[in-house]
Structure 1
Amino acid sequence: MVFKQIISYLLSLLERSNLDLIYLAWLWTLFKPLCILLLSLFLLPAVILIFMYGSSLFCLIYKHWNHLKAAYSEDLWYGAIKTLAVFWELQATIWHGYEVEGLENIPSTGPVLIIFYHGALPIDFYYLFAKIWLYRNRRIRVVADKFVFKIPGLGALLEALQIQPSTSSMCKLMLEEGHVLAIAPGGVREALFSDHNYQLIWKERKGFAKVAIEAKAPIIPMFTKNCREAVRAMTFGRRVLSYIYEKTRLPLVPIYGIFPVKMITYLGQPIPYDPDVTPEMLAHRVKTEIEKMIDTHQRRPGSITRAFLDRFIDSSKKN
């Protein structure tokens, strides 16, 4: 009875408002494709964020469970990271047909510094982390900007991955301890304000080269094909957002995508330690090597459609 009264009230309301249902239906038909498109653009990035937060939640549960079973492993996070690596590799294979060329360039022991181009969202690095952990049995150490540690809900994941603040002393310590360390000199600036032309935005950064020389560590240049086509940063209002970022360091540029494009990570030949090379010279050489890798393997400007088609054609060639 109450339900019928509600229906009658709504119908009378529509009649009093003189709403043209046919017109509303026409509007919905007209704008439905646009609504679906916008939903897809912003829903897919939400999926990867849910995956990341799910990973963090898994680490949190694992941590407390493992405290009750301390004998499970000497390393608190070993089992968790191994499990997550399998999940991330599965995600990479299914969604991006992900491959790595040059994985053998990662030595089985000793320090090594990986320098890479920073996409809008570095999912290629997450995938590489899984590959190296599973197939080279080495865990990449990572440094991140300070704002990353202020993101709520990711504390357990940051702890499990042993992500540290991005300082020269911390980077040097990790290399001196014999770890594999990954650094993107372009950082957040390159992630947000580079584009599908894949230009490096390093300014005059050479701290990574100084750290590598001091730690006597080789450098491996890295680039992932189509990483900008997988996730893109909005270009609307970029000048204003760039000004805000330079003043506040707030990463306010929206990203969209997680498109199922083909992704291939290329690991170059190690650049060995040379005591006679200055940080400026070494930084320039690494930058040149990565630019060569981009020129060799990446179609510019990038195309999401062509990057998707790379999954079905010979993706080893740049068209």
Structure 2
Amino acid sequence: MEVFGDQWERRLAELMAFWRRRLEGDYVVDEYGFDAEITERFFMAALRPIATKWFRVEVRGIENIPATGGALVVSNHSGTIPLDALMTMVAVHDNSGRFLRALGADLVFKLPVVSGLARKAGTTLACNEDAERMLAGGELVGVWPEGFKGIGKPFTERYKLQRFGRGGFVSAALRTGVPIVPLSVVGAEEIYPLVGNIPALARLLGVPYIPITPFFPLLGPLGLVPLPSKWLLEFGEPIRTDAYDAVEADDPMLVFNVTDQVRETIQQTLYTLLRQRESVFR
């Protein structure tokens, strides 16, 4: 009763039936390894309290997410640890009913345990081939083009967008004709204020950086608890790409112009949200 409440018998029976089906192999996993049932029942359920109670995520412009069909969500990236991607996946699912299929960095798929969990949650490698196949298949795909430069930037450079790479995400959208939805996230910059780095140790461990924050490593494991900043997620108006021919995805000037448009839209929205924010923590 402590775990399941007054309806403990029914809920326990449902849980037992669920695990029986799983053990018998009666479930569906797509070609990328995505397990929708596990993602909804466990991953989303575990992350939801963090999003709603700890970060108090407020979502705006969710109507700009298409109800069906392929679309590419492009977001700024920050926070030292990429919790912003996880919170975005929860926010999209809970407010639109769709699963956001994230494009992850190589490092994600080199880590034991993390790699398998990421696959089951719908993440795939950030490469044009997988992105185009997903978009053409009608999936909602998320990309964070700043990469490690975004989440690993010093606190003094917070909310200043880094380079968006070579615009590979734009090429994928142009080839498939799907809309690009810019997303601006405010609040993630403050969860782990990055004040230093240990590059020698980072190279030794094969990771992009070893963060130093006001609380880590000084407070040990306690320093890994993120600060409870208030988050704002605003989805901007979709940028249409269906007016272009697929061959135009090979035009570097067009790709650069669209990439710059997406980046500038996100940056200006960040400035607007920061002006509207009353406080970091409320």
Q: TM-score range by the shorter chain?
A: 0.7 to 0.9
CA distance in 1, matches of 2:19, 2:195: 39
The answer to whether 1:80 aligns with 2:38 is: yes
Cα contact 1:144–1:164 (8 A) shared by 2? yes
Matching residue of 2:208:
251
The answer to whether 1:287 aligns with 2:263 is: yes
Could you tell me how far 1:63 is from its partner in structure 2?
10
Cα contact 2:146–2:165 (8 A) shared by 1? no
Matching residue of 2:161:
200
Q: 75-84 vs 186-195, which deviates more?
A: 75-84
Structure 1 stretches of at least 4 aligned residues deviating more than 4 Å after TM superposition: 62-66, 73-76
SS in 2 for 1:307: coil
CA distance in 1, matches of 2:261, 2:191: 28
State which of 128, 138, 155 in structure 2 corresponds to 1:178.
138
The answer to whether 1:275 aligns with 2:244 is: yes
CA 1:299–1:255: 2 relative to 1, 3 Å: farther
Could you tell me how far 1:66 is from its partner in structure 2?
4.3
CA distance in 1, matches of 2:20, 2:90: 23
Cα contact 1:234–1:253 (8 A) shared by 2? no
CA distance in 1, matches of 2:239, 2:164: 21
CA distance in 1, matches of 2:20, 2:151: 36
Matching residue of 1:4:
none
The answer to whether 1:222 aligns with 2:186 is: no
Cα contact 2:36–2:121 (8 A) shared by 1? no
Could you tell me how far 1:260 is from its partner in structure 2?
0.6
Code of the residue aligned with 1:128 in structure 2: it is T
SS in 1 for 2:189: helix
SS in 1 for 2:112: coil
CA distance in 2, matches of 1:299, 1:205: 30
Could you tell me how far 1:216 is from its partner in structure 2?
0.5
With structure 2 as the length reference, what TM-score do the two structures score? 0.75
Code of the residue aligned with 1:287 in structure 2: it is R
Higher helix share: 1
Matching residue of 2:280:
307
Cα contact 2:73–2:142 (8 A) shared by 1? yes
Matching residue of 1:9:
none
Cα contact 1:233–1:253 (8 A) shared by 2? no
Could you tell me how far 1:134 is from its partner in structure 2?
3.0
CA distance in 2, matches of 1:152, 1:86: 22
Code of the residue aligned with 1:228 in structure 2: it is E
CA-to-aligned-CA distance 1:168-205 (integer Å, 9 cap, x gap): 11111111111111111110122112535311111652
The answer to whether 1:150 aligns with 2:110 is: yes
With structure 1 as the length reference, what TM-score do the two structures score? 0.67
CA distance in 1, matches of 2:28, 2:104: 26
CA distance in 2, matches of 1:92, 1:203: 26
Matching residue of 2:273:
297
CA 1:266–1:255: 2 relative to 1, 3 Å: farther
The structure with the largest alpha-carbon Rg is 1
Q: Could you list the runs of 5+ residues in structure 1 that have no partner in the other structure? A: 1-61, 312-319
Q: What is the RMSD of the two structures over their aligned residues, measured on CA atoms?
A: 3.1
Alignment of 1:1-319 (within 5 A): 66-71=21-26, 73-74=27-28, 77-83=35-41, 84-119=43-78, 120-193=80-153, 195-196=155-156, 197-202=158-163, 205-236=166-197, 250-254=207-211, 256=213, 258-273=226-241, 274-275=243-244, 278-298=254-274, 306-308=279-281, 311=282
SS in 2 for 1:115: strand
CA 1:96–1:113: 2 relative to 1, 3 Å: same
CA distance in 1, matches of 2:263, 2:87: 22
CA distance in 2, matches of 1:155, 1:207: 23
Code of the residue aligned with 1:141 in structure 2: it is R
CA distance in 1, matches of 2:212, 2:123: 23
Cα contact 1:218–1:272 (8 A) shared by 2? yes
Aligned residues: 240
Matching residue of 2:222:
none
Cα contact 1:194–1:201 (8 A) shared by 2? no
CA-to-aligned-CA distance 1:34-57 (integer Å, 9 cap, x gap): xxxxxxxxxxxxxxxxxxxxxxxx
CA 1:204–1:231: 2 relative to 1, 3 Å: same
Code of the residue aligned with 1:205 in structure 2: it is R
Identity of aligned residues (%): 23
